[in-house]
């Protein structure tokens, strides 16, 4: 039986132009050599390779490893181009990897990239930003080498707790302690400061006393002149 006239697709695959009247259900146009050529409006056409031929079949949705692309002329199932991808949103963005692989930003990995971990028991890698941290506690006393006195310079520290970590891995969370340097005033400067404050206070007190004394002074009365 002859194959009849044929033409080539843009990919170089040979497609028969000999039409068949006995098309499968959901197929509007078909050929004996290449199966369905055009599906009904709501269906997707999937081209499966059979040796040197491509066989078109009509489906309500695309199978694993493909994504549906709707066009005004015909809806098509396009194969995912990402390695180890089971289903994809577009040609280069995976939404689900094959079993045992982790999904991260549309790609599939054997393990999550550095700094990421699987979130909540899933196979999707999440950022450490999902760690839940408590508020910072108050600053501790100034210390140096774990001693609290006897140094001119020291450090103050404060801490916080990890409330929740991705997959329980606390190593992916931000730091729980932080410190800052602090310089302690010398005793001589403190004494000078106290003395200056005392001198200022005494000066103000003396000025106030002098004002009160001036207000309390009486003016002597002038004796009256005798009548002549």
pLDDT (mean) for 75-80: 90
Closest CA to 156 of 168, 145, 141: 141
User: What is the residue-averaged pLDDT of the chain?
Assistant: 75
- Highest mean pLDDT out of 12-26, 130-144, 211-225: 130-144
pLDDT of 208 > 90? The answer is no
Total count of domains within the chain: 3
User: Which tokens sit at 62?
Assistant: 């695309």
pLDDT digits (tens, 9 = 90+) for 122-144: 888 876 556 778 888 888 887 77
Distance of CA 39 to the CA centre of its chain: 43
Domain annotation covers residue 70:
yes
pLDDT above 70 (res 88): yes
In this model, does residue 108 exceed pLDDT 90? Answer: yes
Residue 115: inside a domain, yes or no? yes
For residue 168, give the CATH number of its domain: 2.20.100
| Domain assignment present for 13 | no
212 within domain boundaries: no
Q: Where are the beta strands (DSSP E) in the chain?
A: 6-8, 14-16, 27-31, 35-39, 44-50, 53-59, 66-69, 75-79, 85-90, 93-97, 102-104, 107-109, 117-118, 125-126, 132-133, 153-159, 162-164, 177-183
Helix (H, G, I), strand (E, B) or coil at 202: helix
Nearest to 149 by CA among 110, 189, 182: 182
Same structural domain for residues 152 and 174? yes
Owner of token pair 């990239």: 113
The per-residue pLDDT for range 34-65, each reduced to its tens digit, is 889 999 988 999 988 877 888 898 999 998 88
CATH number at residue 44: 2.10.220.10
d(CA 64, CA 80): 9
pTM over 0.75: no
Give yes or no: residues 122 and 134 share one domain. no
- What are 150's strand-pairing partners? none
> pLDDT digit string (tens) for 161-206?
888 776 667 776 888 888 877 665 555 555 555 566 655 555 666 5
Give the lowest-confidence range in 65-69, 101-105, 156-160, 183-187: 183-187
Q: Considering the domain boundaries, does residue 198 fall inside one?
A: no
Q: Residue 50 is part of which domain span? A: 21-79
């Amino acid at each position: 039986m002859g194959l009849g006239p044929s033409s080539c697709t843009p990919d170089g695959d040979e497609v028969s132009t000999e039409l068949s009247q006995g098309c499968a259900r959901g197929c509007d146009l078909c050929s004996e050599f290449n199966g369905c050529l055009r599906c009904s409006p709501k269906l997707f056409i999937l081209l499966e390779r059979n040796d040197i031929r491509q066989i078109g079949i009509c489906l309500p949705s695309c199978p694993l490893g493909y994504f549906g692309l709707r066009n005004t002329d015909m809806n098509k199932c396009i194969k995912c181009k990402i390695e180890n991808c089971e289903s994809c949103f577009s040609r280069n963005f995976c939404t689900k990897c094959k079993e045992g692989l982790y999904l991260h930003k549309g790609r599939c990995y054997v393990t999550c990239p550095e700094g990421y971990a699987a979130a909540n028991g899933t196979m999707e890698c999440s950022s450490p930003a999902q760690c839940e941290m408590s508020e910072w506690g108050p600053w501790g006393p100034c210390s140096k080498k774990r001693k609290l006195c006897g140094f001119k310079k020291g450090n103050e520290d404060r801490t916080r707790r990890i409330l929740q970590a991705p997959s329980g891995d606390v190593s992916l969370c931000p730091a729980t302690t932080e410190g800052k340097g602090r310089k302690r005033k010398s005793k001589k400067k403190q004494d000078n400061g106290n003395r200056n404050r005392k001198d200022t206070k005494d000066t103000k007190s003396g000025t106030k006393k002098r004002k009160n004394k001036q207000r309390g002074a009486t003016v002597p009365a002038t004796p009256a002149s005798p009548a002549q």
